[in-house]
Structure 1
Amino acid sequence: MADHFEAEIKTAIQNGDLSSAAEKTQEYLNELENTPLIIAITGEGGSGKSTLVNALRGIKNGTDGAAPTGPTETTKEPKEYIHPKNENIRIWDLPGIGTTKFKTDEYIKKMEFEKYDFFIIVSSERFRENDAKLAKEIQKMNKKFYFVRSQVDSSIENAKHDYPNFNEDEVLESIKNYCTEELQDLGFESPKVFLVSCFKLHLYKFEDLCKTLMEELPEHQRDVLLLALPNISLDVIKRKKETLGSKIMWLSAASAAGAAVPVPGLSAGVDLSIIVSCVIQCAISLGLTPGLLQKLSDVTGVSLEDLKAELKSPLAGVKITSALVLQVLTRSAAYILATTVEEGARLVPVIGTVVAMSLSCATTYKALKYILNTLAEDTQRVFIKALGLNSPV
């Protein structure tokens, strides 16, 4: 889809129609902003479906807004949960088919399977015939599904007590092979099975599940999901930064036709409204708003004060306002000007051509890149602190 918009923008530029180019750019950004993603979580009762729903939303079990959880099936009817980072992402917690009175075809009709973009089928022990029936019906609808073996952390702890020569990698491989063989016996040639602990998403194979989704989802949905994911690794943070960086190119192009707000110390104006909007999105995607930092503290047990101690950017961990952003830009004016090279903007294919059309646009681009870099650095430090990791060399 981006290629389609790039072609239209390029044509508008070649025709000297900057206003049309900026309009097309804004249209593309609006599509990005409003892309829906609807995820279904299903599986047997007590397998940890609701805990996975909470984990995907970065929410601790039992806290405000969390899906109810328990050792037995707590989901009696389909329940929708809105992602706190993006209201266009809806995660549905579905009752397991084995815990309902419906036959498979009735279940699929009642649960409205056609509306979901992809399915995660969860089991805490073994995948059963009902799981296979669901997967096969999903296959018939040409939709994606993924098998998640949950509560792996409990299995690892049990194995430590059961085997004197315990080896975690061997236990994990054994669990995966067992689940894979079960599903093969149920009729799946090459099932995708991911080992997950919903309480420790950074461990085991949750990141592999995320990488698979990034490969298989359409472009817009891929970016939407990536930016909403919890920060489970430094690599995910890096990819978020890259995705946000790509959006900055489009935002800078959109500012070509916008009114600029002069910033003291800068020789050209910058589009303050675009910058403020982008800073807010960066802070949300990177998990640096006050509310998201509190949720991270709840999940990890690291105090909010300790997490905030890792923040250096004045735009992290606070409410973003135009006045605050303007203050930061004013203080950083010398750096932004020194690194704003109009010719350098031309290196960015197509979008860079638009950016280079005005020094104001180039300045907006450099200001946003500067802010994104500082916020991403804070995110890395917070992530390392939250998980008790050693800083990368």
Structure 2
Amino acid sequence: MDQFISDFLVGKNFQQLATNFVPNYTTLVSKVGGIISPENLDRLQGALKEAKLKDVADIIEELLMAAENAPLDVAVIGESGTGKSSFISALRGLSYEEEGSVSVGVVETTMKKTPYRHPKYPNVTFWDLPGTGTPNFHPHEYLEMVEFATYDFFIIISSCRFSLNDALLAQNIKEIGKKFYFVRTKVDNDLYNEEKSKPTSFKRERVLQRIRDNCLANLSHIGVPEPCIFLVSNFDLDDFDFPILEETLLKELPFHKRYTFVLLLPNLSDASIEMKRAFLKEMIWLDALKSSALSFIPFMACFNGFDLPQQEKCLNLYQSHFGLDENSVKEIAKKLGMSVEKIKSFTKSLNFWLLVKDESIVARAMKCVECYCSVNGGPPSTAFQFLKTYFLHLKFINTVADDAKILLHKTLESISLRRCQRDGSDCLTE
């Protein structure tokens, strides 16, 4: 049980609760941080210390609304053939042939800035910007033309060497106070070609280090000191530096925009799933704290009902966040070569009725307590219903996240097996 929330509900000393607030919050958030800035943590702690519960509720509501509605605009810059369009499609969770994916070609397909909204999260837009490869490139004019103030950060893409124009652009982006990141794409192609040409001396890590060193030397030579470079493959986002890029972006985004960004990230690893789980847990914990504060205000009940239709809607939302909605599961089943029913047989979150049905002794005892509280009414009934709702949310999040890990591992095993079969090598399985 969440002791802090329980102590809050029973009205324990608010001075002590204020002291315990920050330690409790910091244990809850992801390793990349949470959605509350240090300034807002101080505001919340101060309101708690003075027992200004309406202020506590108002501040949390403000923070939750900011996180849930934060727009995110990502600018992606690169020449034709660098993998820019494929990179945007991959981040949007679309294959290259799906309707709504970005045009991919060997000729320049983007002569002006083109917006691509995320199919699940309409407040997220990826902007495909023109390349910088013209001889008379002027970074100031370019940034004015693409309306630089629109974007939260810039990703500068190349599939070989970054150009002088890329360096000039980066310097100007830095001057206007925006973040930029160099992404070297098609690393998988380089590895494949190197292995084919030098099969006996090929060392994967050595080749990757050489690519990284070349990029660093190239950018340093053209005027970018200590550049941060990420090596990626648009066809294998879980490989190379993409997970590190995810974490870097999350850490450097404004606090209120982190939640928006983490939701759109694909389930590439256990770490990415855990980050998403942490952010969702943080949101429901803050919402619980807000409701607890409101429960002390006359005529402000902290529980508004959480019936079966609402529970199913809530579960469906978490499934969507973790890529386990109906359409996504069908795609996973197709990749794994199995039926949806087979997937449901070894997961728990895809069957709503089995998930909410609990015939254990503890569950039966809780039902008896619930009946008693509902008959007698008053604060005990409100507190019980509130805690029931809070912990049901936690159960949904944890079950869906655990299922996402199971399907991720099965997908990675399937991909590994196909690679072994393709390469004609022996595959060792435990």
TM range (shorter): 0.7 to 0.9
Post-superposition offset of 1:297 = 6.7
Rounded to whole Å, the distance in 2 between the matches of 1:307 and 1:6 is 49
- Which of 358, 377, 385 pairs up with 1:332? 358
Post-superposition offset of 1:113 = 1.2
Residue equivalent to 1:205: 241
- Which of 267, 273, 289 pairs up with 1:231? 267
Identity of aligned residues (%): 32
RMSD over aligned Cα atoms = 3.4
Matches within 5 A, 1:35-46: 35-46=70-81
Q: Tell me the TM-score normalised to structure 2 length.
A: 0.74
- Which of 134, 147, 153 pairs up with 2:188? 153
Rounded to whole Å, the distance in 1 between the matches of 2:302 and 2:136 is 58
Mapped contact 2:139–2:169 kept (Cα < 8 A): yes
Post-superposition offset of 1:134 = 1.3
Q: Structure 1 residue 381 and structure 2 residue 406: aligned?
A: yes
CA deviation profile, 1:329-357 (whole Å, cap 9, x unmatched): 751375885898xxxxxxxxxxxxxx998
Post-superposition offset of 1:217 = 1.5
Post-superposition offset of 1:367 = 0.7
Residue equivalent to 2:132: 97
- Runs of 4+ in structure 1 over 6 Å off: 271-274
Mapped contact 2:302–2:382 kept (Cα < 8 A): no
Post-superposition offset of 1:6 = 7.5
Rounded to whole Å, the distance in 1 between the matches of 2:381 and 2:241 is 43
- Which of 360, 366, 378 pairs up with 2:391? 366
- Paired letter, 1:332: D
Residue equivalent to 2:47: 11
CA deviation profile, 1:240-259 (whole Å, cap 9, x unmatched): 11111111212333455354
Q: 1:154 to 1:245 in 2, by over 3 A?
A: same
- Paired letter, 1:203: D
Matches within 5 A, 1:176-215: 176-215=212-251
Rounded to whole Å, the distance in 2 between the matches of 1:49 and 1:360 is 50
Q: SS at the partner of 1:203?
A: coil
Q: Tell me the TM-score normalised to structure 1 length.
A: 0.80
CA deviation profile, 1:222-265 (whole Å, cap 9, x unmatched): 2321121011111111111111111121233345535443xxxx
Q: 1:245 to 1:173 in 2, by over 3 A?
A: same
Q: SS at the partner of 2:133?
A: helix
Residue equivalent to 1:240: 276
Mapped contact 1:197–1:203 kept (Cα < 8 A): yes
- Which of 256, 259, 273 pairs up with 1:220? 256
Moved more, 166-175 or 230-239: 230-239
Q: 1:86 to 1:161 in 2, by over 3 A?
A: same
Residue equivalent to 1:309: 343
Residue equivalent to 2:155: 120
- Paired letter, 2:343: A
Mapped contact 2:349–2:403 kept (Cα < 8 A): no
Rounded to whole Å, the distance in 1 between the matches of 2:391 and 2:260 is 24
Which 5+ residue runs of structure 2 have no aligned equivalent?
1-35, 293-300, 367-379, 417-428
Q: Structure 1 residue 79 and structure 2 residue 114: aligned?
A: yes
CA deviation profile, 1:286-335 (whole Å, cap 9, x unmatched): 1111233456678xx4447369616655653x8xxxxx5xx567513758
Post-superposition offset of 1:172 = 0.4
CA deviation profile, 1:94-145 (whole Å, cap 9, x unmatched): 1212169864333221111121111110000110111112111111111111
- Paired letter, 1:309: I
Mapped contact 1:287–1:379 kept (Cα < 8 A): yes
Which 5+ residue runs of structure 1 have no aligned equivalent?
262-269, 319-323, 341-354
Residue equivalent to 2:164: 129
Post-superposition offset of 1:214 = 2.1
CA deviation profile, 1:187-212 (whole Å, cap 9, x unmatched): 11100111000010011111111121
Residue equivalent to 1:52: 87
Mapped contact 1:56–1:229 kept (Cα < 8 A): yes
Mapped contact 1:58–1:295 kept (Cα < 8 A): no
Post-superposition offset of 1:358 = 1.5
Post-superposition offset of 1:90 = 1.0
Residue equivalent to 2:323: 287
Q: 1:113 to 1:293 in 2, by over 3 A?
A: farther
Post-superposition offset of 1:219 = 1.9
Q: 1:362 to 1:259 in 2, by over 3 A?
A: closer
Q: SS at the partner of 2:223?
A: coil
Rounded to whole Å, the distance in 1 between the matches of 2:163 and 2:37 is 41
Q: 1:6 to 1:292 in 2, by over 3 A?
A: farther
Rounded to whole Å, the distance in 1 between the matches of 2:233 and 2:323 is 21
- Paired letter, 1:188: V
- Paired letter, 2:235: F
Q: SS at the partner of 1:309?
A: helix
Residue equivalent to 1:168: 204
- Equivalent pairs counted in the alignment come to 360
- Which of 137, 140, 145 pairs up with 1:110? 145
- Paired letter, 1:244: L
Q: Looking at CA atoms only, which structure, 1 or 2, has the larger radius of gyration?
A: 2
Mapped contact 2:85–2:102 kept (Cα < 8 A): yes
Post-superposition offset of 1:185 = 0.2
Q: 1:79 to 1:374 in 2, by over 3 A?
A: same
Mapped contact 2:348–2:403 kept (Cα < 8 A): no
Q: SS at the partner of 2:408?
A: helix
